[in-house]
Structure 1
Amino acid sequence: MTASTSGDGPAGADPVPNRIDARPVPRPGRLVSAVVVLVLAAMALHGLVTNENFRWDIVWLYLRDTTVVRGVGWTLVLTAGAMVVAIALAVTLAVMRRSGNPVMRWTSWFYIWFFRGTPVYTQLVFWGLLSVLYPRLSIGIPFGPEFFVFDTGDLITAFWAAMFGLALNEAAYLAEIVRAGLGSVDPGQSEAAKALGMKDSKILRRIVLPQAMRVIVPPTGNETISMLKTTSLVLAVPFTLELTFVTNSIGNRIFLPIPLLMVAAIWYLFITSILMVGQHYVERYYGRGFGTDHTPRRPRQAAIAAAGTTKEDPFMDVTP
């Protein structure tokens, strides 16, 4: 390292005196590892493209097939519907878990314990057999008169059984995510809001939840992507219009299961990529005011980020 003395006079003088001309430390290991990874990736891609056993002509043909596209649509409907119901139920369970009412608290705990402790496939099987276990459903007074009676098979079709089965299972996992997010908010803010006369429901809606979203959104995005692939288990209901079942049926019919599995994999990768992009923007929205590592920025760090530079003067840093 040498001191830079560029400039012949005041007009060309370096504005920073005694600037150090620092040179980066050579790291040959980075170059070698990058070359190795690129070579392995190229070999894998070459083997994937040139292998005739994948039958890429069949893959391209059925990638746009009407039945397959319809299966993609039903998969998206199942994923979106199940996640909406699961998120609403998860927030309710998380609030119940933090309640001072022991009945609410233990009811939430039992729900989470039961649905997290049993496989989702088993739960879906029971939902599919609901009309056998309970041929009819009624609303009335326990051990008393019935006001409304419904035929279970007509009320809960395969689609609704699949969607609610996925949602009830997912809510148990999301409830713990929401509870962790609510717990990450400083309780002093709730206490201050109560001192101002705000109701608990308004405190939750206006103060706690908006701040907890920074912690809730990333794992919820992962759960959404996981839900997209979990829809392949709704055959247990049975619901036979989703993507995996459709591609497997076509593959078995034409005796070419591998190309149709590739069709399903490509569609899943495409949808997952879109969801990941959406998750990125949602995380960035709720992470405003925080660094990339989700730690609060100090005043000078925020000013530097706003100015578009990454240089910091250690002697000018202001610590609150």
Structure 2
Amino acid sequence: MDYSFLKEYYSYFLSGSVITMMISVVTIVFGTVFGVILALMKRSSIAPLKWIASTYIAVFRGTPMLVQILIANGLFHQVVTLPPVTIGVLQIDFSRLFPGILALSLNSGAYVAEIVRGGINAVNSGQFEAARSLGMNGPQTMRYIIFPQALRNILPSLGNEFIVLIKDSSLLSTLGIYELMNSAQIVITSSFIPLKPLYVAAVLYFFMTFVTSQLLKLWENKLGKGYIQVR
């Protein structure tokens, strides 16, 4: 198969891959922050906080991400005006990118919340009692005792969520965001080659997710070294 078109268009795939990873990293950071807050709200003894968190998680997990992206774009595209930025050969319209990242982050937060809540629940209850016996309050117990142990429990699932986000970032192509998928569409339109640019995009998505999964495995092994789970 002839892939000579890459000599002319490789920069589009490279720039699109960079933008895809940038979107994914920003989204997982904000999604994790939202998820931790929601997980703590759902574990709270305050009924309204628990209800808000449960409702939020149910809504964002129960509706398609594409619908959420389109709604966020409709609500914020005309409200937030940001200057475009050029990355490589592609220009990013931040006025469109902002609602896209917001929707991805809010959706991810709903899934991360359940991941974090499960990780916290997996920590032995004796750890809470031991922290209280040492005079630690709730926030101190979470920060110094529970979260470090919960992180070991949730890292594989959190890694899977990051990998899913790398692939789901392609949905932002519906907003005209020039990430990897949209870059492949540009190449198809410019070169009149229908499938090969998509093959290249698929290989790049696989490369990004594979490398990410391997790096997360190394981190997981490092965290688990010398660690004995208390039951």
Q: Same fold (TM over 0.5)?
A: yes
Matched, 1:172 2:110: yes
1:13-62, CA deviations, whole angstroms, 9 ceiling, x for partnerless residues?
A: xxxxxxxxxxxxxxxxxxxxxxxxxxxxxxxxxxxxxxx3xx3333x435
Matched, 1:61 2:7: yes
Q: Distance in 1 between matches of 2:59 and 2:24?
A: 22
Matched, 1:273 2:226: no
Tell me which structure has the larger Cα radius of gyration. 1
Residues matched between the structures, number? 219
Matched, 1:129 2:56: no
Conserved in 1, the CA contact under 8 Å of 2:76 and 2:99? no
Report which structure shows greater RCO (CA 8 Å, sep ≥6): 2
Partner of 1:107: 52
Instruction: Report which of the two has the higher share of helix.
Output: 2
Partner of 2:185: 248
1:71-125, CA deviations, whole angstroms, 9 ceiling, x for partnerless residues?
A: 1111111000000000011011111111111111111101100100100000000
Partner of 1:258: 195
For structure 1, which runs of at least 5 residues remain unmatched after alignment?
1-51, 136-151, 298-320
Write the mapping of 1:24-43 to structure 2, written as runs, cut at 5 A: none
Matched, 1:189 2:134: no
Partner of 1:92: 37
Conserved in 2, the CA contact under 8 Å of 1:97 and 1:108? yes
Partner of 2:219: 282
Q: Distance in 2 between matches of 1:170 and 1:92?
A: 13
Cα distance, 1:157 vs structure 2: 1.3
Cα distance, 1:258 vs structure 2: 1.2
Ranges of 4+ aligned residues in structure 1 off by more than 6 Å:
none
Partner of 1:230: 168
Counterpart of 2:11, as a letter, is T
* The 10-residue stretch of structure 1 (253-262 or 98-107) with the greater mean CA deviation from structure 2: 253-262
Q: Distance in 2 between matches of 1:101 and 1:275?
A: 38
The alignment's TM-score, normalised by the length of structure 2, stands at 0.88
CA distance 1:131–1:80, shift in 2 (3 Å): closer
Q: Distance in 2 between matches of 1:227 and 1:207?
A: 29
Conserved in 2, the CA contact under 8 Å of 1:162 and 1:239? no
Conserved in 1, the CA contact under 8 Å of 2:61 and 2:110? yes
Cα distance, 1:296 vs structure 2: 4.7
Counterpart of 1:56, as a letter, is Y
Counterpart of 1:61, as a letter, is K
Matched, 1:80 2:25: yes
Q: Distance in 1 between matches of 2:176 and 2:155?
A: 29
Partner of 1:307: none
Q: Secondary structure at the match of 1:257?
A: coil
Q: Secondary structure at the match of 1:241?
A: coil
Matched, 1:154 2:81: yes
Conserved in 2, the CA contact under 8 Å of 1:240 and 1:246? no
Alignment root-mean-square deviation, CA: 1.9
Q: Distance in 2 between matches of 1:131 and 1:229?
A: 23
Cα distance, 1:204 vs structure 2: 0.3
Partner of 2:86: none
Cα distance, 1:253 vs structure 2: 2.6
The alignment's TM-score, normalised by the length of structure 1, stands at 0.65
Conserved in 1, the CA contact under 8 Å of 2:97 and 2:177? no
Cα distance, 1:177 vs structure 2: 0.6
For structure 2, which runs of at least 5 residues remain unmatched after alignment?
83-93
Q: Distance in 2 between matches of 1:127 and 1:277?
A: 33
Q: Distance in 2 between matches of 1:193 and 1:215?
A: 19
CA distance 1:131–1:273, shift in 2 (3 Å): closer
Q: Distance in 2 between matches of 1:244 and 1:120?
A: 17
Conserved in 1, the CA contact under 8 Å of 2:13 and 2:183? yes
Percentage of identical aligned residues:
32
